[in-house]
């Protein structure tokens, strides 16, 4: 899936043999379009409707106002994830460099900003799985690879729900459910058949419950390892 790594099976025993121990797991969930017809998702729909009744308005990115809208997403991103383990605030330059990389193939209506009384309070980012199209051109863009890529891109049927954030002061109001429901329903209508929701920290049970309520199934685990690199003599010297 786009922007996710794949590690061969022998990596983990080799890492453990080098003295590293597991620190955190990150989960990936598999979503299918038919999940939107389940009873559980119908309940989520009611939560989403309630959030909208509380003056929450969703809007999509405006390509003509790209820098302005992306700046809002940047601010939401740093504030929404401020208390999440491992999050390091990004500078505007870092953030813009990253988003400019996927600007050519993103879908404006799959990037959503939630506002209350005109103030941005949450956002969601979903990307078409461009790897699905890249897989068919054998890594060659010339001389005809660009044409094949363009043709295959219109037939992409999978997406990755990469980011969902709500400002801490606005959590618990159904805004996250509203954003997720809106994007999932839109993806279904657009003909996308499946999606990957990742990466979800193992301790983030709130996000996991929402994702599981949509019928998504945990199907991948990414494991973060750590190792104490400071030797005992150096540790004693540091405390003396």
Sequence-ordered alpha helix ranges (H) in the chain: 11-17, 39-53, 66-80, 92-102, 131-134, 145-153, 175-189, 205-213, 232-239
State which residues form the domain around 98. 39-198
Strand partners, 220: 28
- C-alpha span between 12 and 17 (Å, rounded): 9
Asked whether residue 48 is assigned to any structural domain, the reply reads yes
Q: Is residue 9 part of a domain?
A: no
Residue 206 within a domain: no
Percent of the chain with pLDDT over 90: 54
Confidence of residue 122 (pLDDT cuts 50, 70, 90): very high
Q: Is residue 59 part of a domain?
A: yes
- Is position 193 within any domain? yes
Q: Does a structural domain hold residue 132?
A: yes
In this predicted structure, which of 8-12, 144-148, 155-159, 184-188 has the lowest mean pLDDT?
Answer: 144-148
pLDDT for res 240: 58
pLDDT for position 94:
94
Q: What is the mean pLDDT of residues 123-132?
A: 92
| Residue 33 burial (CB count, 10 A) | 18
ω before 182 within 30° of 0 (cis)? no
Instruction: Region of 19 please: left (phi>0), alpha (psi -120 to 50) or beta.
Output: left
Comparing 71-85, 123-137, 192-206, which segment has the lowest mean pLDDT?
123-137
Query: Which CATH number does the domain housing residue 123 bear?
Result: 3.40.630.30
Task: Count how many domains the chain has.
Answer: 1
> What percentage of residues in the chain have a pLDDT greater than 70?
95
Cis preceding-peptide flag for 199 (omega within 30 of 0):
yes
Quick check: is 138 in a domain?
yes
Residues 2, 199: Cα–Cα separation, whole Å: 12
Residue 184 has pLDDT above 80, yes or no: yes
Looking at residue 171, what DSSP letter applies?
Answer: T
What separation in angstroms does the CA of 238 have from each of 30, 118, 228? 47, 52, 15
211, 197 contact by CB (below 8 A): yes
Quick check: 231 pLDDT over 70? Answer: no
**Is residue 225 one of the residues assigned to a domain?**
no
Question: What pLDDT shows up at residue 159?
Answer: 96
């Amino acid at each position: 899936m786009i922007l996710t790594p794949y590690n061969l099976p022998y990596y983990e025993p080799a890492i453990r043999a080098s003295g590293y121990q597991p620190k955190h797991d990150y989960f990936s969930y598999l979503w299918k379009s038919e999940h939107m017809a389940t009873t559980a998702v119908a309940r989520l729909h009611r939560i989403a409707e309630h959030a909208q009744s509380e003056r929450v308005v969703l809007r999509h990115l405006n390509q003509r106002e790209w820098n302005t809208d992306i700046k809002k997403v940047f601010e939401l991103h740093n504030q929404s994830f401020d208390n999440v383990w491992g999050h390091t605030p990004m500078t505007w330059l870092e953030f813009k460099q990253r988003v400019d990389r996927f600007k050519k193939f993103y879908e404006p209506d799959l990037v959503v900003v939630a506002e209350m009384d005109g103030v941005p309070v949450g956002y969601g980012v979903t990307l078409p799985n461009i790897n699905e199209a890249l897989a068919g051109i054998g890594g060659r863009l010339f001389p005809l690879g660009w044409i094949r890529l363009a043709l295959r891109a219109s037939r992409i049927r999978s997406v990755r729900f990469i980011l969902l954030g709500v400002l801490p002061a606005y959590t618990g109001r159904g805004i996250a459910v509203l954003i997720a429901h809106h994007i999932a329903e839109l993806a279904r209508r657009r003909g996308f058949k499946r999606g990957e929701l990742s990466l979800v920290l193992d301790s983030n049970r709130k996000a996991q419950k929402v994702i599981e309520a949509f019928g998504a199934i945990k199907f991948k685990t990414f494991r973060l390892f750590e190792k104490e690199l400071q030797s005992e003599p150096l540790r004693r010297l540091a405390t003396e």
